[in-house]
Amino acid sequence: MTGPQPLPYPNLASLVLDFPAPSADRCALSHLEDAITYAELRAYVLAMAARLRSIGIQNGDRVALLVENSPEYVISLFAVLALGATAIPLNPETSSGAVRVVLDDCAARGCIVRERTRTRIDPDSSLPVVALLANSFAANRLSLSSKAATEPPAPPKPDSLALLLYTSGTTGRPKGVMLTHANLLANTASIVEYLGLRAGDSTVNVLPFFHSFGNSVLLTHLAVGGSIYIENRFTYPSKVVETLQKVRPTGFAGVPATFYILLHRTPFLQREWSFLRYISQAGGGMRVETIQRLRQAMPATRIYIMYGQTEASARLSYLAPELLEDHAGSIGKAIPGVEIRVVDASGNETAPGQVGELIARGANVMAGYWNDPAATAEAIRDGWLYTGDMARRDADGFLYIVSRKSDFIKSASYRISPVEIEEVIASLGGIEDVAAIGVPDSLLGEAIAACVVCPHERFDAEAIRSQCLAQLPMFKVPRYILRVAEIPRTPSGKKKYYVLRERYQDLEGSSL
């Protein structure tokens, strides 16, 4: 196992507080018409840290961030880290009840929140707040600029807890993933190395910073002195295309749905993309057809297919762009500094082509789950992270995800991966999204239901069934074919199969 070139930073806070002198006047963050240089970002972080310290936040405390992607999010995050406290990034759309569950679980001191967010989620003002941000960046910038510059706090130690990321994954049971400064720096160094990031790089970011993928985009660009344009308007995807064309970044990251939407619901294919040196994708498998269309639209752009988990600080493997054609569907091989194996139920490495659980180890693997030693012991065994993802390795060592353990459909004596069924259905024209699930069946144990997203006028259950009959063995053909408005997903883009299973658990005996 060869490790990446280490970054010259002892902790995450130093990415902002100890940047190299040439970066001082370089743009670190921009959003709409606002832009912040690295020197300004450092000053704002120190001012925010002084504000938090004045109300008692100190080393070892835990503070939740309920702020959307914005300069204030980044300033607040690094202010918390600079104090040696632990940041708990949360979706600002989270309900007050869910926020309280997290705060109680980790005994947090409180939240950093905007005025409008607090009003929406906490009308009775009972939520503990350690910093209330104005709704506009202009007001917050003025407030922070008025603070006298202060000396940096005592630096946090590499093994201290930096982030507590609450993830429900695809099971619906939230767990607090404990990531240290060392975990995140190791992963950041590895991603910087294989993407070849440097000071001249820039990105337009549409991924939530409260999730590990978006967080990795933030950290990697700050680590090299790059520039991040924050784009929060993906609800209007054509606006994102306009921003990309205006900003002309060198890189862009997304989940599979990001690229599908850009290709099918915007004038993406009519634009020129030579300024993009690379694009990267994670958060679930991307259709081969989507990859092919991207390659046609941007022949000079390098496309990185990546795989990871929150428990691994973000990234575990990647497929190099030059290998896309020969290893379609693969998640590649381990990133620098990480070892990956595929093992059977006894922990023995599987033969090429045989399905087993993907396990990994490296400096990026979490310290464990907060206040949950049983779940930690189940996930980390003898230093290896058991991912819960079922995979196979080909003869050349390239990895392919088959399914999550919990998402296999158990029908009669078969264990069926939903991925194969979904790929067959997705190959039909007009299919925007699809998820195959197992639903209760008194004879088979589980019957297969295909949940399909497509325009009403294009939905043809018989055509979908015929496609499956032509390409799949009979035991893999869905009994039920349902048109749904959307496939529920985690913030990282992974399908929430458990939500669909709960929603359609009473299908048996229906005429669908």
What is the per-residue pLDDT across 46-76, written as a single tens digit (0 to 9) for each?
Answer: 999 999 999 999 999 999 999 999 999 999 9
Using alpha carbons only, give the angle 200, 204, 205 rounded to the nearest 5 degrees. 120
Confidence tier at 170 by pLDDT (50, 70, 90): very low
Look at residue 446 and tell me whether its pLDDT is greater than 90. no
Rg for the chain, CA atoms, rounded: 23
DSSP lists the bridge partners of residue 440 as 446
Q: What is the mean pLDDT of residues 126-133?
A: 91
| pLDDT given at position 492 | 67
Confidence tier at 120 by pLDDT (50, 70, 90): confident
What strand order describes the sheet that includes 368-369?
129-133, 110-114, 62-66, 86-89, 161-167, 175-180, 368-369
CA dist 238 and 236 (Å) reads 6
How many Cα atoms sit within 13 Å of 374 on the Cβ side?
Answer: 0
Confidence tier at 404 by pLDDT (50, 70, 90): confident
Task: Give the closest residue to 499 by CA, choosing from 484, 510, 509.
Answer: 484
Look at residue 179 and tell me whether its pLDDT is greater than 60. yes
| pLDDT given at position 511 | 60
Confidence tier at 157 by pLDDT (50, 70, 90): very high
pTM, two decimals, is: 0.85
User: Is the CATH number 2.40.50.140 carried by domain 14-393?
Assistant: no
The stretches of 32-95 forming alpha helices (DSSP H) are 38-54, 71-82
The residue assigned the tokens 């995800």 is 401
The stretches of 225-255 forming alpha helices (DSSP H) are 237-247
CA 273 to chain centre: 24
Using alpha carbons only, give the angle 333, 291, 193 rounded to the nearest 5 degrees. 40
The DSSP H or E segment spanning 451 is strand 445-453
| pLDDT given at position 229 | 98
Q: What is the mean pLDDT of residues 90-110?
A: 89
Using alpha carbons only, give the angle 38, 302, 256 rounded to the nearest 5 degrees. 85
Task: Locate the domains of the chain by residue range.
Answer: 14-393, 413-503
Q: What is the mean pLDDT of residues 385-407?
A: 90
CA dist 188 and 7 (Å) reads 8
Confidence tier at 108 by pLDDT (50, 70, 90): very high
For residue 117, give the 3-state DSSP assignment. helix
| pLDDT given at position 94 | 82
As a CATH number, domain 413-503 is: 3.30.300.30
Using alpha carbons only, give the angle 257, 97, 115 rounded to the nearest 5 degrees. 80
Q: Greater confidence, 398 or 153?
A: 398
Q: Could you tell me the sign of the dihedral formed by the alpha carbons of 100, 105, 106, 107, in that order?
A: positive
Name the least confident of 165-174, 213-222, 300-309.
165-174
Look at residue 309 and tell me whether its pLDDT is greater than 60. yes
Please report, to the nearest 10 degrees, the dihedral formed by the alpha carbons of residues 198, 203, 206, 210 taken in order: 30
Amino acid at 159: D
Question: By CB neighbour count within 10 A (0-12 exposed, 13-18 middle, 19+ buried), where does 10 fall?
Answer: middle
Confidence tier at 241 by pLDDT (50, 70, 90): very high
Q: What is the mean pLDDT of the chain?
A: 92
Q: Greater confidence, 173 or 33?
A: 33
CA dist 136 and 114 (Å) reads 9
Look at residue 93 and tell me whether its pLDDT is greater than 90. no
Most confident of 74-88, 452-466, 479-493: 74-88
